[in-house]
Amino acid sequence: MAIDKLKTKYSVGTWINNVKSFFDKINEIIDELNNNVSTPSSLEDVLGVGNTTGPYDILDKNNVKYYGAVGDGITDDTVAVQLAVDSNNHIHFPEGTYLISNIILSDTNVIEGANKLTILKAKPGTVGYLINADGASIQIRNITLEGENIVNYSNNNAVGTQSGLFLNILVSKQIVEGVEFRGFDNIALGLNGNILHTGNGLTVDGCSFIENSVGIDTGPGGVSKDTRLDGTNGAEYISIVNNTIKYCRYGYIIDSGNVTSTGNIITDNGYGVYINGAAANAGHGDFVGNIVNSNNVYNLYSINNQIGYSITGNQFFAGELRIDNSSGIMITNNGFGGTCAVRFYLGRGNTFAYNWFYSTPTVTNLSLNGTEIHSNYVAPSFGYMNLRSPLIVDITGSETSGTPTGPELVTNGTFTTDTDWTKQPGWTIGGGTANGAAVSGYLFQSVGATIMGANVVVTYTISNYVGGSVGFSIGGGSQSQQRTANGTYTESVIGGSGGDTNLYFQGIGFTGSIDNVSVKIGTPVILGIGNYTGHFKSTKISRTALPAVYANNAAAIAGGLAVGEEYRSGTDPDILYIVH
């Protein structure tokens, strides 16, 4: 009768595995007794009941092996694991590697591993999320989720199809603790929720996100909830604390409001943190007390965030912090080291104050209407703060660049033929335009060595826009604004000085066309820093020698200063001007 009940409850394969495990254990005990090993004190000891790390715990319903899982890294354990989570709300995984695919959680579930040597690994060919908890309340601890593609993604724009764990935080409080995510070529941890959420939110604590295309995305969109940077309202009330995020293309993407990030180590990614304000309620979060180091595109990037963010008490090293078309951003009491830059583009009401630089910094301000940069300090051994503004920002808020003076540097900027441009996957040339299809790679060509360190004026047209964004850079130098609408854009950037002579257009999930590309050297038209509303004031500058005082730009040139060098105003010595 008991055998019949087992056969009714479980599949034949699961039932056979359970029975085999039972007799394997009995044979093991017999062998131990024959070898004069001490006799077990109870039946529970014989069968391993309650031993969640043991291999034969077939009578403990909390143990995934009770349901027939093997965990040898070879057997497909999908059916057994799905049966376990359907049958019991609290499942233990002993050490081992469990091959699984597309597990669905639909109820309250606690999933625990013995430690990070407990690995839930994507079965070859898995598409979508390894574990999907949309509609379930989940706590997952002390386990590793592993995809098939363990590589360094920091310079890899390719978007794959394999993701890790998806959670919907509208259900109730969720906890992801002590979990290692690695090897997912799309999104390691995707989160869902909307602006009406008033629940307890989510805590991601003490996890590792290593070698994933995206570590965390708080608002992936699309039918499968695995499309990045699409402007979907994301999950709110999230605490991301004490995690390590490394070798990802995007360490994490914040598409939502009320996200608190504290005590994380974010290093050696492409984008360390990407705050995407395209969603209606994205922003108004806190980024506090993190270490952000050597992320090769940006350490932190905020774009189109119009409802503020607090960035305070962090350590930024060897990378750029860029605030692009964002307002109400407060960057205070941070430390900056290595080759670092801070750039504000077209925002309003931002503050950059009380920061400490232990390197020679560059701070570029193209903001308007009340942006203030003040009371920062540069360590004496590093000279002085490089306060630069390579574009004119007039009082109406429009941009104008230095007047183009040189010859056209682009070949085939009208894309008449499919030549002269190098196209990474997703880019095509046809119909007189360059066309992106959800592209996250580069379209580029060399425009000559004259761009290195120069003020470069670039004009281009976007048409047939569907989604994502596109922007450009010159020779590895400063980046343009990412554009998200049809139109003709003229923008001025500084070319890199490291020997790279390419013009790069980079899409970020961009679907649309570009045309009429023009690149010319422009004259550096640079206003004095105090000449527009967003201004530098009372900045503490430690120098080996203070800049000289001149009445105006002509007097500075007559006094022997070269273009790009700094002088002080005779009327207000706290304001720096740059010779142009």
**Which of 578, 457, 456 has its CA nearest to residue 527?**
578
Token pair 């079965």 in the structure block, residue: 123
pLDDT reading at 195 higher than 70: no
pLDDT of residue 213: 94
Bridge partners (DSSP) of residue 323 are 302, 344
Q: Which one-letter amino acid corresponds to residue 365? A: N
Please list, in sequence order, all residues whose beta carbon lies within 8 angstroms of the beta carbon of residue 3, skipping any fewer than 6 positions away.
none
**Which of 71, 127, 121, 137 has its CA nearest to residue 102?**
127
Task: Write the pLDDT tens digit of every residue in 480-523.
Answer: 778 889 999 988 776 665 677 889 998 888 999 999 999 988 75
Query: How would you write 500-528 as a 3-class SS string?
Result: CCEEEEEEEEEEEEEEEEEEEEECCCCCC
Residue 3: CA atoms inside 13 Å, Cβ hemisphere, count?
A: 2
Q: What is the mean pLDDT of residues 188-198?
A: 66
- Measured CA to CA in angstroms, residue 204 lies from 95, 249, 340, 403 at distances of 22, 19, 29, 50
Please list, in sequence order, all residues whose beta carbon lies within 8 angstroms of the beta carbon of residue 49, skipping any fewer than 6 positions away.
43, 57, 59, 60
**Which of 319, 321, 320 has its CA nearest to residue 311?**
321
Buried-exposed string 42-81: b where 16+ CB fall within 10 A, e elsewhere: eeeeebbbebbbbbbbbebebbbbbbbbbbeeebebbbbb
Q: What is the mean pLDDT of residues 240-254?
A: 94
Dihedral of CA atoms 74, 70, 179, 82 in degrees, nearest 10, equals 100
- Residue by residue, DSSP assigns 445-481 as EE--GGGTTSEEEEEEEEEEEEEEEEEEEETT--B-P
Question: For residues 394 and 369, is the Cβ–Cβ distance under 8 A?
Answer: no
21 burial level (CB within 10 Å; 0-12, 13-18, 19+): buried
Q: What angle do CA 308, 213, 443 make, to 5 degrees?
A: 85
Task: Write the pLDDT tens digit of every residue in 254-267.
Answer: 888 888 999 999 99
Bridge partners (DSSP) of residue 21 are none
Query: Please, which pLDDT band fits residue 351 given cuts at 50, 70 and 90?
Result: confident
Backbone angles phi, psi at 439, to 5 degrees: -85, 140
Q: What single DSSP character describes residue 538? A: S
Q: How many residues appear in the chain? A: 580
Q: What is the mean pLDDT of residues 25-49?
A: 51
Bridge partners (DSSP) of residue 493 are 456
Mean pLDDT is highest, among 133-137, 210-214, 557-561, for 210-214
Helix axes 2-9, 12-34, angle to 10 degrees: 130
Question: For residues 111 and 62, is the Cβ–Cβ distance under 8 A?
Answer: no
**Percentage of the chain with pLDDT > 70?**
68
Beta strands in 218-289 (DSSP E): 238-241, 244-246, 250-254, 259-262, 265-267, 271-276, 286-288
- Residue by residue, DSSP assigns 80-121 as HHHHHHHH-SEEEE-SEEEEE--EE--S-EEEEESSTTEEEE
**Which of 371, 355, 522 has its CA nearest to residue 454?**
522
Task: Write the pLDDT tens digit of every residue in 43-86.
Answer: 444 444 444 444 445 568 889 999 999 999 999 999 999 999 99
Question: For residues 290 and 264, is the Cβ–Cβ distance under 8 A?
Answer: yes
For each of the domains in the chain, give its residue range(s) and CATH number, in order of start.
Answer: 422-521 (2.60.120.260), 547-580 (no CATH)
Query: Count of CB atoms within 10 A of residue 307's CB?
Result: 15
Q: Please say whether the dihedral angle defined by the alpha carbons of residues 395, 396, 401 and 405, taken in this order, is positive or negative.
A: negative
pTM confidence score: 0.67
pLDDT of residue 477: 60
Can you say how many angstroms the Cα of residue 148 is from the centroid of all Cα atoms in its chain?
20
